[in-house]
Amino acid sequence: MIEAIFSLTVLVQAIRFAVPTALAAMCGAVTESSGVIDLALEAKLLFGAFAAAAVAHATGSAYLGVLGGVGAGMAVAAVQIWCALVLQANQVIVGIGLNLLALGGTRFLLQLIYHEGANSPAVPTFAGPLAANPVLWLAVLAALALPFAIRHTRWGLRLRAAGDRPDALVAAGVPPLRPRLYAALVGGALAGAGGAQLSLSIGGFVADMSSGRGYAALAMVILAGWRPALAALYCCGLALADAINFQLQLAGAGIPHELAQIIPHVLTILVLVIVGGKHGRPPRSLGRV
């Protein structure tokens, strides 16, 4: 049993599980740091997963599929920013509306393109070991580069200003819409790649395959105090717990799978109850247009 937990299999499994959620969490952290509430992570993952599968199926290349996922994530982010900042609709509602749209939309496209209700046809996956997976390296790169970029580049400075002091940004002659759009597009690209990992790693798209990962990622963002790398790290912790339980179940032990799936959610509630919602420092003008 102990060997089953401390094995390479568990580690590889954990990394596989962690990549989509961690990418979504980094998207949430970046977008929210610029002052826009990001509840549309589910939509970015789902559309990303579908687009990646569709492009991979059409071109026969999983690598082009990743680009498809990235594009879909960015497109969702652009629509989100348009609704939230140009129409000035309530940002939480925009997120939920987009998630509903993604749930129905991906199934509509499945039906339209492949005449299937729940599954896409089999698509190419990444050949070779986990280390050959470009999405994994994108996630690692993002986790290393984002904290630096947010602190030390002009992009990051403007992003933080848009999230904390948009009035100062206006005074400096920069409309806050622009850094917020750039932040959302970078985030959308990451979350879209996360979606690509979801579908390409199992060789096809399945309806509702994001299954709440986007929401869990957002909870990790809040727990991490809107720090992208830390949020990604928390997601890895969740994934490790998932992977260990998966192995335990294979060994005939562990927690029943219905309960195992809700542990991250229960933990999140407990942490929120214990540390309270004032934990961390949210961007000062989060959700204000």
Partner 1 sequence: MSWAELRPSPHLKRELIAVVIALLVSLAFGSVLMLVAGKAPGHVWSQMVLRTFGDEYLLGQVLYKATGLALTGLAVALALDVGLFNIGVEGQLVAGVLASGVVGAALPATTPAVIAIPVCLLAAAGAGALVGLVIGGVRIYRDAHEVITSIMLNASITGLALYIGNVALFRGGSTRGPDIAPGAQLPQLGFGGSSVNAVLVLAVLVVAGMWWLRSRTTWGRAWLAVGADPAAARCAGISIGRVQLLAMAGSGALAGLAATNFVLGHKHAFEEGLGRGTGLLGISAALLGRTHPIGVALATLVLGFLSVGGLAVADEVPKELTEMLQGVVVLAAAGAGPWLARREALQARAA
Catalog residues that contact partner 1 under the rule CB under 8 A. 37, 39, 83, 87-90, 92-94, 96-105, 107-108, 110-112, 212, 215, 218-219, 222, 256, 258-259, 261-262, 265-266, 268-269, 272-273, 276-278, 287
Beta carbon of residue 89, minimum distance to partner 1 (angstroms, whole number): 4
Q: Residue 128 in contact with residue 134, Cβ under 8 Å?
A: no
> Cβ closer to partner 1: 7 or 111?
111
233-251 in b/e form (b: 16+ CB < 10 A) is bbbbebbbbbbbbbbbeee
Beta carbon of residue 138, minimum distance to partner 1 (angstroms, whole number): 27
Q: Residue 26 in contact with residue 236, Cβ under 8 Å?
A: no
> Cβ closer to partner 1: 78 or 140?
78
∠109-188-214 over CA atoms, to 5°?
75
Beta carbon of residue 126, minimum distance to partner 1 (angstroms, whole number): 29
Beta carbon of residue 268, minimum distance to partner 1 (angstroms, whole number): 5
Alpha helices in 172-212 (DSSP H): 177-201
Beta carbon of residue 212, minimum distance to partner 1 (angstroms, whole number): 5
Q: For residue 130, how far is the Cα from the chain centroid?
A: 19
> Cβ closer to partner 1: 100 or 144?
100
CA distance 68 to 192: 8
> Cβ closer to partner 1: 5 or 263?
263
3-state class (DSSP) for residue 261: helix
Beta carbon of residue 32, minimum distance to partner 1 (angstroms, whole number): 12
> Cβ closer to partner 1: 100 or 250?
100
Region of 37 please: left (phi>0), alpha (psi -120 to 50) or beta.
Answer: beta
Other Cβ atoms within 10 Å of 96 Cβ, number: 15
Q: Which helix (H) or strand (E) holds 83?
A: none
Residue 112 has which token pair? 């339209």
CA distance 56 to 65: 4
Sequence-ordered list of residues with C-beta below 8 angstroms from that of 70, at least 6 positions apart, any chain: 48, 189, 192, 193, 196
Beta carbon of residue 208, minimum distance to partner 1 (angstroms, whole number): 11
> Cβ closer to partner 1: 83 or 235?
83
> Cβ closer to partner 1: 126 or 215?
215
Beta carbon of residue 271, minimum distance to partner 1 (angstroms, whole number): 9
> Cβ closer to partner 1: 156 or 282?
282
CA distance 91 to 62: 34
